[in-house]
Structure 1
Amino acid sequence: MTTLSNEQYESMSTLSIQKPEVLRLRLSYAEDKQQSRLELHLENTLDIELRQWCLHLDLQRDVCAGTATAMTRTGSHLRLSPVTPCPLLPGDDCRLQLTGAPRLLQRLSDLPGGCYLSTAEDVYEVQLQAHHLPLSRPENPPNPDGSREQPARSGLLPAARYVTATDGWRPWPVAPGISAAAAALPALDWLQSMLGCHWQSPDNGEQAELVCAVDATLAEEAYRLDINGDRILLEAATAAGFCRGAASLLQLREGQSGEYLLPCLRVEDQPHYRYRALMLDCARHFHDLDTLFDLLDWMALYKLNHFHWHLTDDEAWRLDIKAYPQLREIGAWRGHREVLPPQLGSGPERYGGYYSHADVARVVDYAAARGITVVPEIDIPGHCRACIEALPGLLRDPDDRSAYCSVQFFDDNVLNPGLSGTYEFLDAVLAEVCELFPGPYVHLGADEVPAGVWLGSDACRRLMLREGYRDPRDLQGHLLGYAQRFLAARGRTLVGWEEAAQGDKLDRGTPICAWTGDEAVRQLVAAGYPVISCPAPRAYLDVAWSDDPGEPGLHWAGTADLEACYRQSPFPADVPNAMGVQANLWSELLPSREQLEYMLFPRVLATAEWGWSGQGGDNWPEFRARAERALDYLRSRGVRPRPLDPV
């Protein structure tokens, strides 16, 4: 089988989109207490007659076909046509109707995307040109009285544990002499790369302006920073500790009157939680290496230490697995004539990408040099449509008559624990994952397996009989237990979303990401699991900032601005110390770098604050001032965050 590179795939032209003039689509929306009605007015603006046509669009809402409309769907992708086929003549229009629950469309990001029309021969672009949703609604300013408190002297974010300020400032060393222990070299390389400069070691170490020294008594990520008129002294016990100190040194750099200064002070600091993470979903939309490298720099700057890399889902498989080239050749791409249809607004043309082994090595090394561990996620047994479609002969049971529908509207996206091919697949994939990722953790998802799965599978019935299981839901635990043993034999620890604990078949040492809320955190901690707190109402960065219809984001978990994320602790007051915290950035609505930056900042700063300091919520004006300073710095580097004030 011939294997093509990412670049070769992207250069292939597999679909010709006819664009002499686009077709127009207008949307009318109405609702009452019982139902929402969505009318789609399709106008043929071309000078040709369209026969056997079908309107395609992506809509992440639960809808049914309305009057005189036929509909099929795969995930977010809907195919609509008249119940009675009819040609669409030049200048004619056709009305199609969808219905759903009340409040079906609440904001602009709920509108259909990726619209196009197909016939037996061609594909035509369709533009949504009108709708009746409100464009915006004013939001209340975060500080109605206009007050602005100044940050503490250090201004560090996250806040340092102990800061002792002394009088005076010292110039930022433009080209300082350095005396550094070997463990500090990665941190200094990162610091210089962020500054775009190069420092040299002096001939005489006593003349060094910046001294990095090992203090073996300090904890893993602890550091001590002493800035005075004579020199800058950074002490740590490990490379990670030096990275955290370098981040503080970079944040303390202030521009005044055309030069950069450092306040004279002493910082003694270490993290509260050992696990402080950011999850980025690269399956729904592909994010290139430059974006990932910048993301890791931002994580290092705000002292996050685990990058949870969501690599597989229903909509795409992003990791090159040498044992199964079909995963990159088929599973990494979507389009009208691809095996995987368009999703989430990606449109009819070939769309996607994957990470090669060389790409992964670069990301892992880049992260390690910044004291960050990469945690890959291969989501099983649900969210698996991309790999099943890529490997149907191995992963699909033609005799399985189970009927189900996932939250994302897929009815064919779950691995079958009764098939031998499932275990053959997992063995090969997880073996390569362990080779590619040297970190201790491998995340296996285990979330959102829909009700009804496996009920119609004879292979699953035989497995249940053999193992003595009485509930088909035990099969998820059976599959995860198998994977956990496989990983443990290779020195890796399985991590899962909170559903992984269902069925009580995993070791109590399994770290669990609790995402639904405080009650899940309580139950998992009480059961003895190490808990990583990432509750959707305040840690999902893809939710909308406010109720403003023009504000992008999902809203199934409500809305959350920076103040809401900051004021609410990641752990309920009655829960003892746990493993750590995480912010999750799902990418259903993030096809571009600009949208990623807008949703990520500033809210990820609240997770950084809680994760490092272990406290927050009680001094919003002071935190807000530090966050605004952080945003000013990010803007100076070309980042486009969401403003704190209404826009």
Structure 2
Amino acid sequence: MTLWLQQCWSPEGAPDSKGGMFRLSIHNRGDAPVAPVALCMSSMTRIAGPAQIEGAALDRRFGNYHRLIAPEGLLIPPGEAWLIRILSLTHPPKNRSQGVMSAWIEADGGEIPLLLGDLEPPPGTPRGPLAPLPEGRLDLPLGLLPWPQHVDIAEWDEPVGLLPSAELTEVAALHQRLFPFARGILSRDGRPVRFQPADMPAEGYRLDFTPDAITLSHADPDGRRHGLVALAQISHAALSDPRFREPLRGHIEDHPRFAWRGMHMDVARNFRTIEEVRRAGDILAWHRMNRLHWHLTDDEGWRLEIPSLPDLTRIAARRGAGLPLLPQYADLHWGQAGHYSVAEARDLVANAASLGIEVLPEIDSPGHLTSLLAAIPGLTDTAEVPDSYRSIQGYPNNAVNPAVPAVYEVLGKVLDAVCEIFPSHLIHLGGDEVDPRSWQQSPAAMALAEAEGIAGEGVTHRLQALFMRRMQQMLADRGRSLAGWDECADGGGVSPQDTLLFAWRSVEKTAELMQAGYDVIATPGQAYYLDMTQSADWDAIGLSWGGAVPPEKTYHFEPTEGLPTDAAGRMIGIQAGVWSEMLSTRQRWNAMVFPRLSAVAESAWTRSEAKDWPRFCALSRLMPQL
């Protein structure tokens, strides 16, 4: 690349700017002049309208994508630069990753990708690397995470592994997939494992160690599986790290704290291959987690094949310059494409079930549906004023219209396909982040509101609740129940009966929803969203609307604190949120997700008084990554 984009942020923008200004300098480091027609870029901090720009003119905004027209006749000679000042931004960036994430020049000869510099802060801003995770401390040479409820080991021994048997085949295969270069946990010199059922809490297990054998007592098939994973972890740690040993005499008794121990995985904004999603399931099983919440659709992409609606994957599963869905985030002009076939999704569900993991599919609605609207015409009010609202992510008019009958026909076909693929009793239908101005410039939606007696403040959210209740009934007609984000309780809300809501907007939302009668999964962005920056420092990366979420904060967060004891609803469990705007590569995924996913896993499994931060820091390094 011979063109380099230098980007700087200043809090001093136009008087009405909410986020200060950007100064972009496109330097020509080559030996030939460049004649740009336009600069195309994706930026987490977006240009605010009406645009105030010096050195270029805004042509289009679509999500994070912006196209800026170059001044007529502009030429960038070698050693010179094209300077652009963007004086009005949607919000102030908080770190170096929240500026331009990708950029290219449109020229007569084609597209020219730009090499990007980090977003530079105002002079005097403190800079420095992210503090590393502490080395931690081990009081026992036991490599087991999440930590068990009770450990009583009288004697330790050098590792010998486990004697092969039919019952150990699946856990040995799991270990081999996760650690392909590690010593195997099965050995002809290993100790045999004996099994026996026992009366203990659901999913519970007990390991009794003697020099001759290991006895695994279990409450149920899940407890048996958890005990086997625990044995595999113990042997793996002892065989691969000299700090660890295998128990020779003693016992471990264990069961999970919460029934729901989940991870949400967004594959819509940045696609992950089916092999990567399968590996994510393996990682969850190794952490003894039992739910994979698969976020399959969003504005940026539709990732699941719906056989009766082939345009969803033909059109809505790809984005790029000149396509209905434009490049976003770290995409260059060629964008990205990807979806999962029915066969791939079914295979994933079956593989996850063999590991004790249930897959919860999410089809977001009624907002976050730019991809659906790009592929299927007729799902909005043609009389609605174009660009009459924008989502918080910058997409114009991105919600299906609750007054249009075709919406329910199309979504009915989607639900039919989803229910064929996924056995989960719950189907997650989103319900989040519908802009409060949605549908207010739609004559059809306003007529529906009038017919339903909806008027005054909050009309959008009350229409949304009407839509979600209809979708809830459509699920009930198919023998399924509704899961959704916490906004599903707004505007009159959906029925709490057989409904599960995910409290994400604040720590307090879990208690609010329980008081309203809903069963709840606690997944607050302020503690459990793994796309949040891990530090308030400028040189950290990640989003920041929930504040900085370092691993220690995730680990120490207590999800039951402040919950009512007399509420009609219950907190069923907890979940990590892995949103992918910032996670464009596997390396970034790993850097952001770990060790915080392990922290959520231990909080979901281990009672709070048995947790220990220094021990966690030492043990989390043993865990596999994507």
TM-score range, shorter chain: 0.7 to 0.9
Matches within 5 A, 1:202-241: 209-215=192-198, 217-241=199-223
Structure 1 counterpart of 2:231? 249
Structure 1 counterpart of 2:128? 137
SS at match of 1:579: strand
Q: Which among 526, 536, 561 is matched to residue 515 of structure 2? A: 526
Which is worse superposed, 509-518 or 90-99? 90-99
Q: Which among 594, 597, 604 is matched to residue 587 of structure 2? A: 594
TM-fit CA distance, 1:546? 0.9
Quickly say closer, same or farther: Cα 1:179–1:61, change in 2 above 3 A.
Answer: closer
Between the aligned partners of 1:519 and 1:527, the Cα distance in structure 2 is 13
Structure 2 counterpart of 1:603? 596
TM-fit CA distance, 1:152? 4.3
Between the aligned partners of 1:396 and 1:258, the Cα distance in structure 2 is 59
TM-fit CA distance, 1:274? 0.7
The question of 1:488 aligning with 2:476 is answered yes
Between the aligned partners of 2:309 and 2:4, the Cα distance in structure 1 is 42
**1:307–1:374: 8 Å Cα contact kept in structure 2?**
yes
Describe the superposition over 1:543-583 as per-residue Cα deviations: whole angstroms up to 9, x where unpaired: 11112322221112111111111222123334346111001
Describe the superposition over 1:466-491 as per-residue Cα deviations: whole angstroms up to 9, x where unpaired: 33333332221122112212222333
Amino acid at match of 2:69: S
Structure 1 counterpart of 2:530? 541
The question of 1:271 aligning with 2:251 is answered no
Structure 2 counterpart of 1:613? 606
Between the aligned partners of 2:173 and 2:74, the Cα distance in structure 1 is 65
Describe the superposition over 1:292-340 as per-residue Cα deviations: whole angstroms up to 9, x where unpaired: 1221121111111100111111111111111111111111111112211
Quickly say closer, same or farther: Cα 1:186–1:482, change in 2 above 3 A.
Answer: farther
SS at match of 2:616: helix
Q: Which among 256, 262, 280 is matched to residue 246 of structure 2? A: 262
**1:406–1:450: 8 Å Cα contact kept in structure 2?**
yes
Matches within 5 A, 1:29-178: 29-32=9-12, 36-43=20-27, 45=30, 47=32, 50=35, 53-64=37-48, 65-68=51-54, 69-71=56-58, 72-82=60-70, 85-88=72-75, 90-91=77-78, 93-100=81-88, 104-119=92-107, 122-129=110-117, 132-133=120-121, 136-137=127-128, 148-152=136-140, 154-169=142-157, 171-173=159-161, 176-178=163-165
**2:97–2:119: 8 Å Cα contact kept in structure 1?**
no
Between the aligned partners of 2:187 and 2:615, the Cα distance in structure 1 is 35
The question of 1:311 aligning with 2:301 is answered no
Quickly say closer, same or farther: Cα 1:27–1:532, change in 2 above 3 A.
Answer: same
Structure 2 counterpart of 1:560? 549
**2:7–2:120: 8 Å Cα contact kept in structure 1?**
yes
**2:201–2:219: 8 Å Cα contact kept in structure 1?**
yes
Matches within 5 A, 1:437-456: 437-456=422-441
Quickly say closer, same or farther: Cα 1:359–1:468, change in 2 above 3 A.
Answer: same
Between the aligned partners of 1:261 and 1:122, the Cα distance in structure 2 is 60
Quickly say closer, same or farther: Cα 1:125–1:155, change in 2 above 3 A.
Answer: closer
SS at match of 2:408: helix
TM-fit CA distance, 1:465? 3.3
Which is worse superposed, 437-446 or 239-248? 239-248
Quickly say closer, same or farther: Cα 1:515–1:499, change in 2 above 3 A.
Answer: same
TM-fit CA distance, 1:173? 3.5
TM-fit CA distance, 1:445? 0.9
The question of 1:512 aligning with 2:501 is answered yes
SS at match of 1:63: coil
Which is worse superposed, 461-470 or 361-370? 461-470
Quickly say closer, same or farther: Cα 1:249–1:468, change in 2 above 3 A.
Answer: same
**2:291–2:360: 8 Å Cα contact kept in structure 1?**
yes
Amino acid at match of 2:336: Y
Between the aligned partners of 1:498 and 1:167, the Cα distance in structure 2 is 49
Quickly say closer, same or farther: Cα 1:325–1:356, change in 2 above 3 A.
Answer: same
Quickly say closer, same or farther: Cα 1:200–1:125, change in 2 above 3 A.
Answer: closer
Amino acid at match of 2:105: L
Structure 2 counterpart of 1:378? 363
Between the aligned partners of 1:585 and 1:88, the Cα distance in structure 2 is 43
Amino acid at match of 2:213: R
Structure 1 counterpart of 2:345? 360
Describe the superposition over 1:362-395 as per-residue Cα deviations: whole angstroms up to 9, x where unpaired: 211121111000011111011110110111x232
**2:44–2:101: 8 Å Cα contact kept in structure 1?**
no
SS at match of 1:118: strand
Between the aligned partners of 2:614 and 2:407, the Cα distance in structure 1 is 49
SS at match of 1:109: coil
Quickly say closer, same or farther: Cα 1:553–1:268, change in 2 above 3 A.
Answer: same
TM-fit CA distance, 1:246? 1.6
Which is worse superposed, 555-564 or 581-590? 555-564
**1:186–1:239: 8 Å Cα contact kept in structure 2?**
no
Structure 1 segments unaligned to the other structure (5+ residues): 1-20, 641-647
Amino acid at match of 1:24: W
Between the aligned partners of 1:540 and 1:258, the Cα distance in structure 2 is 31
Structure 2 counterpart of 1:630? 620
Question: What's the C-alpha RMSD, in Å, of the aligned pairs?
Answer: 3.0
Describe the superposition over 1:258-290 as per-residue Cα deviations: whole angstroms up to 9, x where unpaired: 998521331222112111100111011011122
Structure 2 counterpart of 1:395? 379
Q: What TM-score results when the alignment is normalised by the length of structure 2?
A: 0.88
The question of 1:27 aligning with 2:18 is answered no
Quickly say closer, same or farther: Cα 1:437–1:250, change in 2 above 3 A.
Answer: same
Between the aligned partners of 2:240 and 2:260, the Cα distance in structure 1 is 40
Aligned length: 598
TM-fit CA distance, 1:515? 0.7
TM-fit CA distance, 1:415? 0.9
Describe the superposition over 1:104-135 as per-residue Cα deviations: whole angstroms up to 9, x where unpaired: 23322112022012246622222235764479
Amino acid at match of 1:404: Y
TM-fit CA distance, 1:220? 3.5
Quickly say closer, same or farther: Cα 1:247–1:396, change in 2 above 3 A.
Answer: same
Which is worse superposed, 427-436 or 477-486? 477-486
Q: What TM-score results when the alignment is normalised by the length of structure 1?
A: 0.85
Q: Which among 575, 581, 584 is matched to residue 582 of structure 1? A: 575
TM-fit CA distance, 1:142? 6.8
Between the aligned partners of 1:200 and 1:485, the Cα distance in structure 2 is 54
Between the aligned partners of 2:164 and 2:112, the Cα distance in structure 1 is 63
Q: Which among 278, 295, 316 is matched to residue 331 of structure 1? A: 316
Structure 2 counterpart of 1:643? none
Between the aligned partners of 1:258 and 1:495, the Cα distance in structure 2 is 42
* Identity over aligned pairs, percent: 29
Between the aligned partners of 2:185 and 2:522, the Cα distance in structure 1 is 39
Between the aligned partners of 1:235 and 1:118, the Cα distance in structure 2 is 66
